[in-house]
Amino acid sequence: MISPAITEEKLVIAHRGASGYLPEHTLEAYALAYGMGADYIEPDLVLTKDGVFICLHDIHLESTTNVEEVFPDRAREDGRWYAADFTLSEIKQLKVHERTNTDSTAVFAGRFPQNNSDFEVPTFAEMIELIQGLNKATGRNVGIYPEIKSPTWHAAEGLPMEEKLLDLLAQYGYEGPNARIYVQSSENHSLRMMRDDLGTKLPLVQLVDTGNNSDTGENYSSMITQEGLKEIATFADGVGPYKMYIEANPELVQWAHDDGLQVHTWTMRADSLPEKYSDFTEELNQFYFVYGVDGLFTDFTDRAV
């Protein structure tokens, strides 16, 4: 079991970059989050048809890009445009916009205007090079916090993710338990593969979503019991529970700490505040200093540092 030290440092993790201000998962959003003082910046990762990691939250493209305009005839029978059906050169023809609902309205209406400016889908390598370049230029040591999205689905498409990810990270110097990185996944078999089969020493985090995983059938609520957390501690260094799990049972933070697990919860949004809080700072303080989490993901880095 790898047990990281539980420290007094409270991490601010930029959720999809500074996504409260710029379209998510763009180099511009990552750069803004860096300038705002994030400790770690989170890219979600999927694979292209030619096996390149790109920064994208969904396995589909239409919620955050103009793929329907550029490639109108490339949807699958379910009406969705899958990143795994497009080469990197095709992905680079797309423009990124604020996340939209199925009716094309903005999910967060008060954020960056739709169809303004030109934003591209970055590769993970481009994101790493940006952060490492800024680290060199500023003397800071901001980390990255990649999440591999839907690894079971990708494997079924002939695009296994785990070994490819670790190889890419090693190329950029991310090796060993002290690397400025956390690798997260909602699928524990993927984390186990990286730890046990591929032998990585990188810090790993079990993401705990709501309900069941649609690809694996895993029940998330069973992971945040005392028994479930003890099991997670056999292969991971941290746990990333949805914040409402902690609201419902604050004890789980202490349970995780007792097992040597850090707790990084998600997602804090100043423009989507739970009713129980009068302002964003109150919510942040509740999670950092009352519940005792070690870090949190936020769309609004500047409000959390």
Q: How far is CA 186 from the centre of its chain?
A: 10
Domain annotation covers residue 92: no
User: Quick check: 154 pLDDT over 90?
Assistant: yes
Q: How far apart are CA 241 and CA 238, in angstroms?
A: 10
For the residues 226-247, what does the mean pLDDT come to? 98
Please state whether beta strands 147-148 and 238-241 pair in parallel, antiparallel, or not at all (unpaired): unpaired
Q: How far is CA 66 from the centre of its chain?
A: 22
* % of the chain surpassing 70 pLDDT: 98
Please state whether beta strands 11-14 and 40-41 pair in parallel, antiparallel, or not at all (unpaired): parallel
User: Quick check: 3 pLDDT over 90?
Assistant: no
Domain annotation covers residue 108: no
pLDDT computed for residue 137 by the predictor: 99
pLDDT computed for residue 116 by the predictor: 72
Provide the edge-to-edge strand list for the sheet that holds 238-241. 53-55, 44-47, 147-148, 183-185, 204-208, 238-241, 262-268, 295-298, 11-14, 40-41, 143-144
Domain annotation covers residue 228: yes
What confidence category does residue 46 fall into, taking pLDDT thresholds of 50, 70 and 90?
Answer: very high
pLDDT digits (tens, 9 = 90+) for 8-39: 789 999 999 999 999 999 999 999 999 999 99
**Could you tell me how many residues make up the chain?**
305
pLDDT computed for residue 212 by the predictor: 82
What's 226's domain CATH number? 3.20.20.190
pLDDT computed for residue 7 by the predictor: 56
Residue 194, classed as helix, strand or coil, is helix
Q: How far apart are CA 189 and CA 235, in angstroms?
A: 10
Helix (H) or strand (E) holding 167: helix 162-171
For the residues 154-164, what does the mean pLDDT come to? 99
Residue 230 is part of which domain span? 11-59+122-304
Which of 51-65, 163-177, 198-212, 215-229 has the weakest average pLDDT?
A: 215-229
Q: How far apart are CA 209 and CA 213, in angstroms?
A: 8
Domain annotation covers residue 270: yes
User: Quick check: 103 pLDDT over 80?
Assistant: yes
For the residues 66-78, what does the mean pLDDT come to? 98
The answer to whether residues 124 and 107 touch, using CB atoms and an 8 Å cutoff, is no
DSSP state of 145: -
DSSP state of 60: B
Domain annotation covers residue 89: no
For the residues 142-169, what does the mean pLDDT come to? 99
Domain annotation covers residue 237: yes
pLDDT computed for residue 117 by the predictor: 79
Q: How far apart are CA 205 and CA 208, in angstroms?
A: 9
pLDDT computed for residue 185 by the predictor: 98
Q: How far apart are CA 250 and CA 230, in angstroms?
A: 17
Quick count: other Cβ atoms within 10 Å of Cβ 199? 8
Domain annotation covers residue 296: yes
Domain annotation covers residue 133: yes
* % of the chain surpassing 90 pLDDT: 91
Q: How far apart are CA 134 and CA 210, in angstroms?
A: 35
What confidence category does residue 110 fall into, taking pLDDT thresholds of 50, 70 and 90?
Answer: very high
pLDDT digits (tens, 9 = 90+) for 176-225: 999 999 999 999 999 999 999 999 999 999 999 988 887 888 889 999 99
Nearest to 63 by CA among 81, 78, 89, 87: 81
For the residues 273-290, what does the mean pLDDT come to? 97
**What value does the mean pLDDT of the chain take?**
96
pLDDT computed for residue 232 by the predictor: 98
Please tell me the pTM assigned to this model.
0.96
Number of folded domains that form the chain? 1
Q: How far apart are CA 159 and CA 232, in angstroms?
A: 26
Give the burial class of 265: count Cβ atoms within 10 A of its Cβ; 0-12 exposed, 13-18 middle, 19 or more buried: buried
Catalytically active residues are 15, 57
For the residues 246-264, what does the mean pLDDT come to? 98
